[in-house]
Amino acid sequence: MEERNKTLGEFIIENQAAFQYSSGELSRIINSIRLAAKVVNYKVNKAGLVDIIGAAGAQNIQGEDQQKLDVYANEIFIQTLINREIVCGIASEENDEYITVEGNDNCHNNKYVVLMDPLDGSSNIDVNVSVGTIFSVYRRISPVGTPVTIEDFLQPGINQVAAGYVIYSTSTMLVYTTGHGVNGFTLNPAIGTFYLSHPNIQFPKNGIIYSVNEGNYVHFPQGVKDYIKYCQLEEDERPYTSRYIGSLVSDIHRNMLKGGIYLYPTSSKSPKGKLRLLYECNPMAFIVEQAGGKASDGLNRIMEIEPKELHERAPFFCGSYNMVEKAEDFMRLAKLSKY
């Protein structure tokens, strides 16, 4: 069969064979995410048509509970994973605590935990701008057969066995890695099938796009201010183009295809940055690195940070390898000149 016509289902089966001693659990997790993504995609695409936008807890005219789409997406992803009894624990940006998956005696025997941001950038829904789901899979640390513990979730990103995102946009795509490169699948909505459309995605080493919320400029650290000025200089291929959707998945997806850098640094307003290390930075970092890009907190590799708490935040510099390296140079220089 021609590579371009391969479905995600076929791809998952083929790749399971490539994992020696694989029990198929990881494949079933990706399969469940594929299914949940289709359900969420259906709702996201109807968002402007039916009365589903609005505060969670309200009721629509049929008297049904009205849910915000991020609450809905959270429930769909969690229920899909729980119903299939393929993970032992789930942590979500939408939930304060992690979930221990129970249900039958066998559940604790599963090896993997899933961490996710079910609908990132959901404030964009009301204005018809693309949003995304981000997920990350780790092998548990606690012994199989016992309930999960917090340590199963507080693992550095280098321990990820899979990570991916779904982008709900002009077309819906699922992009993921299991540590063997990055592949992108586009949904054919007419028949509800994802097809391999972007095999072996490569992050261009250089780019001309920088993506940052410049409204926060005065609050940024000096190194970031200096780097932004560098991006705007008239020299070589600069000034770079500024592109910022404010939807992490979309901004990084575009930069990964075209070349560019995404920055969400610390600021005097958010001293630890805004993005969540476990649900946003680590999975995106794994994908970006697998595609040949680079992800750091401005000074250190994101995936080597030892997480201390579930919802911890981190500054995030991510994109074309050489661009991130350059931004890090500015950060280091500013730090040195401070002392």
Q: Detail the residues annotated as belonging to a binding site for substrate.
A: 120-123, 213, 244, 262-264, 274
Decide: 108 and 88 in contact? Cβ < 8 Å. Answer: yes
Cα end-to-end distance, the chain, whole Å:
61
Q: How many chain residues touch Mg ion (CB under 5 A)?
A: 2
Identify which range of 52-60, 113-121, 154-162, 233-241 contacts ligand AHM by CB under 6 A.
Answer: 113-121
For residue 38 the two structure tokens come to 């289709």
- Quick one: what does residue 122 bind among ligand AHM, Mg ion, none, with the CB cut-off 5 to 8 Å set by partner type? ligand AHM
Binding residues: 93, 117, 119-123, 213, 244, 262-264, 274, 280
Binding residues for Mg(2+): 93, 117, 119-120, 280
Residue length of the chain = 339
Minimum CB–partner distance for residue 77 and ligand AHM (Å)? 14
β-sheet with 209-211: strand ranges across = 241-242, 209-211, 260-264, 316-319, 294-296
> In the range 206-225, which residues lie near ligand AHM by CB under 6 A?
213
> In the range 163-202, which residues lie near Mg ion by CB under 5 A?
none
> What whole-number distance in Å separates Cα of residue 59 and Cα of residue 318?
40
Q: Based on the shown chain and the rule CB under 5 A, indicate whether residue 251 belongs to the binding site for Mg ion.
A: no
Q: Where are the alpha helices (DSSP H) in the chain?
A: 8-18, 25-45, 69-83, 150-153, 222-232, 248-258, 282-290, 321-338
Question: Binding ligand AHM by CB under 6 A: which of 30, 248, 263, 291?
Answer: 248
3-state secondary structure at position 257: helix
Identify which range of 116-124, 212-220, 253-261, 328-336 contacts Mg ion by CB under 5 A.
Answer: 116-124
Check the CA dihedral 236-241-247-250 and report its sign: negative
Which are the contacts of 183, defined by CB distance < 8 A and separation ≥ 6?
11, 175, 176, 177, 196, 198, 199, 200, 201
Question: Binding ligand AHM by CB under 6 A: which of 38, 107, 112, 120?
Answer: 120
Q: Based on the shown chain and the rule CB under 6 A, indicate whether residue 122 belongs to the binding site for ligand AHM.
A: yes
Question: Binding ligand AHM by CB under 6 A: which of 189, 246, 309, 332?
Answer: 246
Quick one: 117 or 289, whose CB is closer to ligand AHM? 117
Decide: 280 and 248 in contact? Cβ < 8 Å. Answer: yes
- Quick one: what does residue 246 bind among ligand AHM, Mg ion, none, with the CB cut-off 5 to 8 Å set by partner type? ligand AHM
3-state secondary structure 47-60: CCCCCCCCCCCCEC
3-state secondary structure at position 186: strand
Q: Based on the shown chain and the rule CB under 6 A, indicate whether residue 255 belongs to the binding site for ligand AHM.
A: no
Q: Based on the shown chain and the rule CB under 5 A, indicate whether residue 70 belongs to the binding site for Mg ion.
A: no
Q: State the Rg of the chain over Cα.
A: 20
Minimum CB–partner distance for residue 235 and Mg ion (Å)? 35
Decide: 88 and 111 in contact? Cβ < 8 Å. Answer: yes
Q: Based on the shown chain and the rule CB under 5 A, indicate whether residue 328 belongs to the binding site for Mg ion.
A: no
Question: Binding ligand AHM by CB under 6 A: which of 118, 121, 204, 265?
Answer: 121
Identify which range of 25-33, 94-102, 231-239, 244-252 contacts ligand AHM by CB under 6 A.
Answer: 244-252
Binding site for ligand AHM (CB under 6 A): 117, 120-122, 213, 246-248, 251, 274
Binding site for Mg ion (CB under 5 A): 117, 120
